[in-house]
Structure 1
Amino acid sequence: MIKTSLVLFFALLGLNLFAQERPTEDPAITYANTITVEDLTRHLTVLADDEMEGRETGQPGQYKAARYLEEIIKGYGLPGVGPEQTYSQPISFISERWQEIDFVINGSSKRHLWDYYAYPSKNADRAKVMTDEVVFLGYGIESEEYDDYGNQKLEGKTILIMDGEPKDRDGVSYVSGTEEASVWSEDISLKLKAARRHGVETVLILDPNFQRNLSSARKISLDSRMHMGFSEKPADNYSNSIYISSETAKTILGSSYGKVVKARKRIEKKGKPKSVSISVDLALTQQKKVKELLGENMLAYVEGSDPVLKDELLIVTAHYDHIGRRGNSIFNGADDNGSGTSTVLEIAQAFTLAKEAGVGPRRSVLFMLVSGEEKGLLGSEFYVNHPLFPLESTIANINVDMVGRVDEKHAADPNYIYVIGSDRLSTSLHEINEAANEKYTQLALDYTYNAEDDPNRYYYRSDHYNFAERGIPAVFYFNGTHADYHQDTDTVDKINFEKMARIGKLVFYTAWELANRDERIKVDVGVKP
């Protein structure tokens, strides 16, 4: 009895070792099978926990979720991305406008966007500043070739400078030494930074094209929308500034007008700086209304193995943000989109394991978990405007957004997924997904929401659209909506993890084919409006 058992034990052990040494003939099946209910449950339970506070972009919960994702990605042993080799791409959208701005010359209040204008982004928020002196300081340039500052003491003072740079009668710049303008004419930030280094409180800039520039200044100053970009941190970098018209400048100069004209002519004739002190009472108030949204896209990068094809990139996305909390209610967003985030993490792990085993992928794959989706697809919009890899080398985007629930239409059979956008730009992408499903997963592929006349317009409402808009083929996997959509009842206990795993495998198989096929898929369908 003992002998028989030992023989059987070693026989089974031998079979097990043989199975490990010789994986399934199709490696896609081997690594798709690493996408498990257990792992999906583990990730989603963390992401949709109350501790994550609904993962609203720019709020503490989103940062907690980002750190969890970073920990998981690092645990896969993947390298960082970009020059700094990080696992995140910071994103920022900002709105800056004037809440109060007032400029008074000798007791007379001037009209903003009429007599003067100022850009909120270039100015720090501050209360009223008063002075009884303005120093005309030429062009406000500080360079080795030409220096308006010299040894002057300007701490806390207001200066008046001209736009551009000094040139002689032949049009040759005293700064560049040629007829070409130097950077001092092209970037006003240089002058504002020089002023701040010398402690200047305010810079008045005489704009020779005041009326022409006023329209643009008006649009920028009055625009309350959020725009892509980071704050210029004017309090740390610039002296405050306003642009003034020639009429406003004459009011400031008063009896000193002739002295300033002579100083300007001397600068132009000899290329030597000349300053003039002007007695005038000024008061300037600049208070801003700032709204800034900061988030981060999390990155898991698997480099391709093919020496040529690895320069091409497939991007797989899911947004990990949700809508946060409202009062005492936490909107956990288990389905939207903790489900997609957990699925993409599992697919990233599957590709990583394949790479470690030396069997793939040929092209590089970037798994990107984006924030800001609930604010208007902001994270993916930021990426396509600041890509970490060339967009022209990006072959396709696969987007996973809500794959953990069953909608009313499919209540009797959860073995389905809505597929959106697969045929909008590339027939090959559509065919690859169809073939992967037929061969491996046999889900019911529902194209209801892919119809161009779909009133829900889901094709335009998730992160894939920012890629499609750039001409990059994209496919979006979606389970449809339900009663808990964007409610505080979208919780983990209602997730169908078996369904999630099946969809995750379909996404994996489609990504696997895109990353490993010989030919890059082609854009062969016109870009749809």
Structure 2
Amino acid sequence: MKKIIILTTFFMSIMKPVAAQKNSTDKSVEYANTITATDLAKHLKILASDSLQGRETGEPGQKMAADYIAEQFFNDHLKPVMKHDGEDSYFQHFDLVRKSWGEVYIETGTKRREFLKDFYLLGSLSIPQEKNVEVVFGGYGIESEKYSDYKNIDVTNKAVLILSGEPKSKKGKSLVTDSDKPSEWASDWRKKVTLARQKGAAYVLIIQPDEMKVGTFIANYRGYLTNPRLILKYKETPTQGDGTIFVSREMGVEILGVSEKALAKWQRKIARKKTSKSFAIANVAMKFENKEQIVQSENVLGLVEGTDKKDEIVVVTAHYDHVGVINGEIHNGADDDGSGTVAVLEIAQAFAEAKRNGNGPRRSMLFMTVAGEEKGLLGSEYYTDHAALPLQNTVCDLNIDMIGRIDEAHTGNPDYVYLIGSDKLSSKLHAISEEMNQKYSKLALDYKYNDPSDPNRFYYRSDHYNFARYKVPVIFYFNGTHEDYHRPTDDIEKINFAKIEKIARLVFHTAWEVANREERIKVDSNKK
């Protein structure tokens, strides 16, 4: 890539600046039409091939994908905006820490309990050497006006062991709500964990209601629970972590030092007397050993420089990483997010061609494909925390993630797209989006997932969100999930390229309008 980068610098230096912009709204259709299903398929055939091994962040396949994207930016004469070893570069490098499990166990009495058999962990936890921990039984771990498990107990710097669910009367009514309606405590274990931490607990263990629930969860999510975790190196802290330990009922009973019958009797007593009884238990020994390795990844950035408003930037993003190889099977991620990545490449090509023809945008266009999305939006988080171009000059981010399939809700109407976030920060961006669709694309714009009460919370689950954190207006283009989501069957043969073409052209028209209008769109809202 070094040779390519040097040539790019030379090429850009000999290009004559455009003296006067011939930009016209009528020209937008001409350049939008250069985005074709044929070219999209050409790119995806490479990016979603087995040779890239699922493009997992930090792995060779991801590096190969990054090289391919940078090569396309070079071929289309996009300007590199980064420096690497003193030379212009398309790559924004960032370091990650890969954490994997070493020795993990909990000893109860004379019995050593096995990780991913008797218990599992959600979140992070670091106990590099065996540690004796005092345990307090905290009942259901609830504190409310009508019911409390924390009366007369001190959990400071101790482990608190709590039951899942909530106490109920003999008639099945919640003792918390005093009605047939369950409380939030019954379904949201995080609420219990938050309370325990506020009370000073160092560790939280939750007893699951039956053995099958623990076994089923471990079976379904073993890959997630055992795969190495990646975190941004600059955000790593030496804390022990705040993970939550979920234990089987049989293991929980052993920690309590009572029989299953005694625990059931205790629960019935709560139902009868409507009062909890929490108490201290014997110590347990715990070890959660982490192994660490530094991994380098990169975002790929290419710029089409604007004219009279070039200091303002419109960003178009997609993530080019996927989940790699799981249990020996390559997950090619053709839709997630190969579809968004190839859309970015084609939109970039269209803007670059417009610039070469003297019709370039007034504002600069930054095209960025990010890594680390599947690991927690890490690439976009790094960019927004270390922006190559000032965030205060960034007008908006148009983010494209999974636009190549049709979900069950739209089997009869494939010409749709879910829009998320368009009205969250800027009413003008939302209006422009609607106007461009009505004028050019005529897709069915579905705002189902824009509803803040939607349980999927997609607004927080793709790379646009890291721009929104900094009050940069965003639109997230999405076609919904499907049966091949994060499975080895998300392959190119199932991709609807005509659909990608239509949505990519809508993104192009929206970006064109935002980049060329006289007034910069304003932040005038703060919706969740």
Task: Flag the 1:291–1:446 CA change in 2: closer, same or farther, 3 A.
Answer: same
User: Which residue is 2:356 aligned to?
Assistant: 356
> How far off is 1:97 after superposition?
12
Cα distance between partner residues in 2 of 1:230 and 1:473: 26
TM-score by length of 2: 0.59
Q: Which residue in 2 is equivalent to 1:229?
A: 233
Question: Match for residue 5 of structure 1?
Answer: none
Q: How far is 1:91 from its partner? A: 1.6
- Per-residue deviation, residues 364-398 of structure 1 (Å, max 9, x unmatched): 01000000000000000000111001110001000
* CA 74–322 in structure 1, closer or farther in 2 if over 3 Å, else same: same
Report how far residue 28 of structure 1 moved.
0.4
* Alignment map for 1:337-486 (pairs within 5 Å): 337-486=337-486
State the partner residue of 1:94.
97
SS in structure 2 opposite 1:78?
A: coil
Aligned residue among 279, 294, 305 for 1:292: 294
Question: Corresponding residue for 1:305?
Answer: 307
Change (3 A) 1:24 1:423: closer
- Two-structure CA RMSD over aligned residues (Å): 2.5
1:500 alignment partner AA: I
User: For the Cα contact (< 8 Å) 1:96–1:291, is it kept in 2?
Assistant: yes
Provide the residue aligned with 2:37 in structure 1.
37
Q: Which runs of 4+ in 1 moved over 4 A?
A: 22-25, 95-100, 224-227
Question: What's 1:47 paired with?
Answer: 47
Percent identical pairs in the alignment equals 55
1:292 positional shift: 2.7
Q: Offset at 1:92?
A: 1.6
2: CA distance between counterparts of 1:428 and 1:528?
14
| CA distance in structure 2 between the partners assigned to 1:481 and 1:228 by the alignment | 27
State the AA in 2 paired with 1:521: I
In structure 1, what is the Cα distance between the partners aligned to 2:501 and 2:102? 51
The AA in structure 1 aligned to 2:384 is V
Query: Residue 88 of structure 1: CA displacement?
Result: 0.8
Deviations 1:26-83 (A, max 9, x none): 1100000000011000001110000010000011110111111111111112221134
**CA offsets 1:216-263 (integer angstroms, 9 cap, x no match):** xxx9xxxx986533699xxxxxxxxxxxxxxxxxxxxxxxxxxxxxxx
The separation in 2 between residues aligned to 1:516 and 1:55, in whole angstroms, is 35
Give 1:95 deviation, angstroms: 6.4
Q: Counterparts of 1:498 and 1:225 in 2: how far apart (Å)? A: 36
- 5+ residue gaps, structure 2, are 1-21, 104-201, 203-227, 237-288
Count how many residue pairs are aligned between Structure 1 and Structure 2: 329
Q: AA paired with 1:303?
A: E
Give, in whole Å, the separation in 1 of the partners of 2:519 and 2:439: 20
> Structure 2 vs 1, CA of residues 23 and 292 (structure 1 numbering), >3 Å: closer, same or farther?
closer
The 5-angstrom pairing of residues 508-523 of structure 1 reads 508-523=508-523
Q: SS of 1:527's equivalent?
A: coil
Q: Secondary structure at the match of 2:424?
A: coil
Cα offset, 1:328, TM superposition: 2.3
How far, CA to CA, are the matches of 1:497 and 1:520 in structure 2? 33
Match of 1:504 in 2: 504
- Relative distance call for 1:97 and 1:447 in structure 2 (3 A) is closer
Change (3 A) 1:451 1:97: closer
Q: What is the SS of the residue equivalent to 1:392?
A: helix
Q: Give the 3-state SS of the residue equivalent to 2:341 in structure 1.
A: helix
Aligned residue type for 1:484: D
- Counterparts of 1:61-80 in structure 2 under 5 Å? 61-80=61-80
C-alpha distance in structure 2 between counterparts of 1:92 and 1:399, whole Å? 23
Per-residue CA distance 1:393-450 (angstroms, 9 max, x = gap): 0010000000000001100110000000000000001000000000000000000000
Tell me by how many angstroms 1:360 deviates: 1.7
Distance 2:23 2:351 in 1: 15
The residue number in structure 2 matching 1:332 is 332
Superposed displacement of residue 326, structure 1: 1.2
Could you say if the C-alpha distance between residues 386 and 337 of structure 1 is closer, same or farther in structure 2, counting changes exceeding 3 Å?
same
Distance in structure 2 (CA, Å) of the matches to 1:64 and 1:363: 31
SS where residue 405 of structure 2 aligns?
A: coil
Query: Is this contact kept in 2: 1:94–1:230, CA < 8 A?
Result: no
Question: Rg: which structure is higher?
Answer: 1
CA contact (8 A) 1:425 1:472 kept: yes
| Distance in 2 (alpha carbons) for counterparts of 1:488 and 1:227 | 25
One-letter amino acid of the structure 2 residue matched with residue 435 of structure 1: E
CA distance in 2, matches of 1:231, 1:62: 22
After TM superposition, give the deviation of residue 322 of structure 1 in Å. 0.2
Distance 1:231 1:463, change over 3 A: closer
TM-score, structure 1 as length reference: 0.59
Paired residue type of 2:93: P
CA contact (8 A) 2:231 2:378 kept: no
Q: How many Å separate the matches in 1 of 2:316 and 2:295?
A: 24
